[in-house]
Structure 1
Amino acid sequence: MSSTRWAAPADEADRVWHEPEVIIYNLIVYPEVSSSAIAYDVANRKWYELNLDTIVRDEDWMDAVITKHISDYHAHHGTLPDFNVINTTREGTPTTFEKKPNEHVARRIEGNVHYGRGPSDILPTTTFEQVKQKLYLNRGIDRCVWNGADCIFKRIEFVEDLEAIEREIKTREALLAASEPPGTSIELRFHVLPILAVVNKHSETDEVLGIIMPYGGQSLESLAGGYQYGMGADPEEGLPPKPWPSLPIAEEQIIDLLRGVRELAKAGVVHGDVNDRNTLLTPDNRLVLVDMGEVAPDYVSDVHALGRMMLWALEMVSWTTPGAEDRVRQIATQLLAETGGMPE
């Protein structure tokens, strides 16, 4: 990775409006004078500067002010604001707007991932301008249209994303190299969502902005009702009443995913973060893994993590096939026993 400093694109073409989700990233208070904040609208991928003529430390209030001005502008013009600086007071009047160069407002990214011109670069590449109709799904992840297909664009937004994207690329290359015969779908064999293309900033550079993957559906965490029902939920808090249907998966899908995880191990690849958040139910009702993560020090193995996820799923699925629940429980218990025992 090179050490140049750059800012992610602003005012993106073909971006679909989403209700703002503003986060304050930097708050500066000038004692007895004024305050200033740098904020990011995660949902619309745009940075803002807020300047106040008095001391304010209430970040929620600042979020609300920036959100109001973004939403008001969109309501009147149908687009994202043409400003990225808001100057106002605690009372809200007067308010003025400015537009500074994006790199003067945005948080800069130190370093670059390069791809597409190296002799070992085997994945296809595309350019950012070919990624159309981008719609916010999550931090760093947009649903989009690429080459006419329903896809996911996983982007570099912050410096922490550089290594994550590089790992994703190298892992897919390793899986492609392990595919026999060559060209075998890594999604079918390993149950891992493939990279369709690496996205470069433009056609004159090999600097990477992100990766394109096929749209893989919703995560099991989302389908179960959200994080409060997920594997990472705090059991001390207890679950609120659940008004929605149970997790729509069956024994066969879980066994299929286990086969994929076993194949990953045969290929010498560790996913590193198998859980409900990183497991998707595809539109054709298959379970696939995403976010090939950095392996945490206390991570036992992918098989162990899948066993834990099976135990979680036992409580989230309405089992209709006779004996399915018992068989899944038996497999989960066996996986955990062979990889270090039951979770506490």
Structure 2
Amino acid sequence: MKTVLISGAGVAGCALAYWSRRHGFAPTVVERAPGTRPGGQAVDIRGVALDVVEQMGLIGRVREAATRMRGMSVLDADGDEVHRSTEATFSSGRLDSGDVELLREDLVSMLEQLADGQAEFIYGDRITGLDEGEHGVTVDFAHGPSRTFDLVVGADGLHSAVRALAFGPEREFTHHLGSHLAIFGAENFLGLDNWQVWQRDGDAGYGIYPVRDNSELRITFGFASGPLDTVPREPDALKRAIADRMGALRWERARLVKALWAAPDLYSDAMAQIRLDRWSRGRTVLLGDAGYCASPLSGQGTGLALVGAYVLAQELGRAGGEHREAFARYEARLRPFVTLNQALATENPGGPASTESVERAKNAVALDG
């Protein structure tokens, strides 16, 4: 049985662990975090990605865990409502569609549980070196001993270590989209009842919505930033930088800044896309954000991860593990889908893509190949 090392235990990595085992491979997943990462935003599963989830036997659990939004309000900088809708929200689109919005941590937990027992999981470690030979790739780890695998998959996100090792510096493939995002959780101090609040003034804004039966909030704060801007990574310095930007918005400013400082689960990063001429090199291939990040602005990162994992595993199975053939077919099938979904992030700067564009993009690949 051919072995495959998957870097990253997120949506893409866990989904590939499941599907690769189904197609006759022995997967190992390495994740630098000590366990499943908590926190994060609500993510969308749309179109053909729902078919992938259904084939995994998770559609019932996914729909049960879905958010239950009734609508949204759009506020000005002082908190006055300038628009409301009970038909759609910016985060999930039309409320009468069959698409599903749920917390990322809930989806990853489901996928990890599904793959548990079918894949080896190594937490608290990371890949530091790749040395490809005629019959495999010898992989060095930060903590564990070196091991050799038939194939290596980088499913380790926007700042992929596998991509850097196999393809070169991140700056060569990153296309900055002009903004930065901070996401954190808090108690529902706004008393929101399955209702989203969006606020924007100038180059900064919030998206706030309740989760966990309205007991918690997920607060998403975005602000403009240039491609050369550096946002500190040290936790306190990062929070200070974000709090300074939050000061431009007057509504609930004090409580939102207080929630930021208390948040144990802050995630912050630039909004950017990854664009490469090819997604594989030798026995190493990229999956999800590592190879073709569309950014949260597209709303389709989760869909790309789920569908990408399905197609990659399917092609590896069809090719009998002959990686050159499998990787070429994976890219040929998936690249048009990626292109349409990446375009959603740039179609309407500062706002969502059109319903027509989303409908076209979310179904733009055939699972039967």
* Higher share in strand: 2
Which structure ranks higher in relative contact order (CA pairs < 8 Å, sequence separation ≥ 6)?
2
Please say which structure displays the higher CA radius of gyration: 1
* Higher share in helix: 2
TM-score class, shorter = under 0.3
TM-score, with normalisation over the residues of structure 1?
A: 0.27
TM-score, with normalisation over the residues of structure 2?
A: 0.25
